[in-house]
Amino acid sequence: MLNNWQPTFGPEDYRVKEDLRVFDGYFKMYRLHLIHRRFQGGEVEIRRELFRRGNAVCVLLYDPRRDAVVLVEQFRVGALEAPDGPWLLELVAGIVEPGETAVDVAVRESDEEAGLAISGVRPISRFLPSPGACDEWIDLMFACVDAADAEGVHGLPEEGEDIKVQVIDAEAAFELVRNGRINSGPAIIGLQWLELNRPWIRNEEMTPRR
């Protein structure tokens, strides 16, 4: 039984023989020819397509006084076959531009997608959502908002964004995760984190500052 896991191999245990761009559109796809060590000894040679998307930030917006979360509803082409259609409830999110920090993106996207200023920003997790085919890292963040004026449709028209703001009671949002109605990975992780940490967050955020 392991108490503390460390990777068996490291960066020196693989090499890339070929890295070829095979598609250059809205997104970019590459075909890689790689060799890496095997657990049982020797090496294996593989060819894989890699979607190089760039890193992203997702931010869970929470109003501790109203005990509500601010989510966004939008069309997602990857969800065309979803049972309820391709409009998903998600966290505010955006791609990291050169020179930006995760906090920079959280501030920018909260304004662009929800029209809200944020405070109390803190990290939740950093993870690879689909490492079998995509190199994207997601910085999952938490931030507080005043949801009193959270409403309407937002997004940048030049980017084809059509984003509707939804304010949902925290308990109702947790239930949407449990029954599978919220099916976006970052939203599931963020809301489960909030369900675990909500008591101390509310106490901290609602305690008057001296």
Any idea what the CATH number is for the domain that residue 111 is in? 3.90.79.10
Domain count within the chain: 2
pLDDT at 209 (0 to 100): 58
| Single-letter residue type at 86 | P
Residues 91 and 19 in one domain: no
Domain with 34 in it: 12-52
Burial class (CB in 10 A: 0-12, 13-18, 19+), 78: exposed
Judge if 129 and 48 occupy the same domain: no
According to DSSP, the residues that pair with 199 across neighbouring strands are none
By annotation, the residues acting in catalysis are 159
What phi, psi does 11 have (nearest 5°)?
-60, -25
CB 138 within 8 A of CB 58: yes
**Can you tell me whether residue 190 is helix, strand or coil?**
helix
pTM value is: 0.91
Q: Which residue stretches of the chain are H helix?
A: 102-114, 170-178, 185-206
Q: What per-residue confidence (pLDDT) applies to 149?
A: 86
Q: What is the pLDDT of residue 2?
A: 80
pLDDT value at residue 17: 97
Which phi-psi region, left, alpha or beta, contains residue 152 (left: φ > 0; alpha: ψ -120 to 50)? left
Ordered mean pLDDT values, 10 residues apiece, the chain (210 residues): 91 97 93 97 96 95 96 94 93 95 96 94 96 96 94 82 93 97 96 95 71
Among candidate residues 116, 112, 95, the one with its CA nearest the CA of residue 155:
112
Domain shared by 131 and 30, yes or no: no
Residue 61: strand pairing partners: 70, 143
Residue 26 confidence (pLDDT):
86
**pLDDT score for 204:** 80
Q: Is residue 7 part of a domain?
A: no
pLDDT the model gives residue 52: 93
Query: Do both 116 and 16 map to the same domain?
Result: no
Residues 64 and 135 in one domain: yes
Which DSSP string corresponds to 37-72?
A: E-TTSSEEEEEEEEEE---EEEEEEEETTTTEEEEE
Q: Does any domain span residue 136?
A: yes
Residue 153 lies in a domain: yes
